[in-house]
Amino acid sequence: MSPDFTPALSLDLGATPPGRPDHGQRPAETGDTAVHDVVIVGSGPAGYTAAIYTARADLNPIVLAGSVTAGGDLMNTTDVENYPGFTDGIMGPELMATMQAQAERFGADVRYEDAIKLELEGPIKEITVEGGEVLRARTVILATGSAYRELGLEDEKRLSGHGVSWCATCDGFFFKGQNIAVVGGGDSAIEEATFLTKFADKVTLIHRRDEFRASEIMQKRAFDDPKIEILWNKRVIGISGEAKVEELSLEDTVTGEVGALPVTGLFVAIGSDPRTHLFKDQVEITAEGTVAVDARSSRTSLPGVFAAGDVLDSTYRQAVTAAGSGCVAAIDVEHYLATVKA
């Protein structure tokens, strides 16, 4: 997110920028009977980092980047200021294009397609891509990320990166001295709100009920914080502003009365859903809904199946942690293949 929320996208991304199926789209070849060493499902920081490492290890990775969401979550933001290596920050889409180019430089085969079916049991995994082609591989890295829940409002996407955010750690810094709002009622909403008081002058916590779901200790933190004002029984029904967020429309969930709240930022903290629908019946899933892995490794409950990034992470969920996790998965794949091939 940019401090003044001005879109400053001026990218020279080379021939195959991510995020658009019509940019360098390459349909998967048909009749692929080869058994590949590794197929990576997902093209966020986790997927591309796994691709860089496995490509440099001569494992010729295929990356299923997704048909409309290639590049992952960072395609939806503007300035990324906390990814190491970029003194002045970098635009999210540019960062992802750079990661993709780096993976392709070492030979990663990036395809703008979705995996639609995964059969992960047994030594050879089968990955069906849209269009029907079936890829066969000894290993699969699941790097499908996690989707932040949205309010479902018309202007929410338009103002994403321009005042609407899903990540206080990522964007709190941009709201110094401002008057902002957080919507949600669980632990994470209160955690975001209290974190944001470091920067904002005032944080209005909007909750649709008259009590929080959050734990007692978290609630006390919110009640005791002089910078936090709580609005009970309110739901956000509109976000307005031309270039950036200026005002929220709030509806009282008891009386139906509608009012306006002038703010320059809205943090949506109503949960997230790890994208596990294709494989949640095959690999073990944690109580939080993320893929379960063995200790600090990326090993899932199935041999040859590894996970990386936000799909296994209910806590940290940052680009740099996802990238680190992609590196872990690639190294685990190398070790696994070395063992099975021996």
Q: Which residues here bind ligand FAD, judged by CB under 6 A?
A: 41-47, 64-66, 69-74, 76-77, 80, 82-83, 114-115, 143-145, 148, 160, 166-167, 170, 275, 278, 309-310, 317-320, 322
Contact 301, 200 (CB under 8 A): no
- Distance of closest approach, residue 83 Cβ to ligand FAD, in angstroms: 6
Q: Of 170, 310, 313, 332, which is the active-site residue?
A: 170
Active site residue 327: no
Q: Looking at 171, 310, 313, 332, which residue is catalytic?
A: 171
Which residue, 233 or 297, is less far from ligand FAD as judged by CB? 297
Rounded Cα distance between 286 and 195, Å, is 26
Smallest separation, CB 229 to ligand FAD (Å): 25
Which residue's CB is nearer to ligand FAD, number 266 or number 319?
319
Q: What is the DSSP letter of 291?
A: B
**What is the closest distance, in whole angstroms, from the C-beta atom of residue 79 to ligand FAD in the complex?**
7
- 8 A C-beta contact, residue 139 and residue 336: yes
Helix segments in the chain, DSSP class H: 45-56, 92-105, 168-171, 187-196, 216-224, 319-341
Q: How many whole angstroms separate alpha carbon 286 and alpha carbon 299?
A: 14
Q: What count of other Cβ atoms lies within 10 Å of the Cβ of residue 260?
A: 12
114 is catalytic: no
What does the alpha-carbon distance between residue 317 and residue 50 come to, in Å, rounded to a whole number? Answer: 16
What are the structure tokens assigned to 96, written together? 């992802």
Which residue lies nearer to ligand FAD by CB, 279 or 336? 279
Q: Which is nearer to ligand FAD, 151 or 167 (CB)?
A: 167
Active site residue 171: yes
Q: How far is the CB of 13 from ligand FAD (least distance, A)?
A: 16
**Catalytic site residues?**
167, 170-171
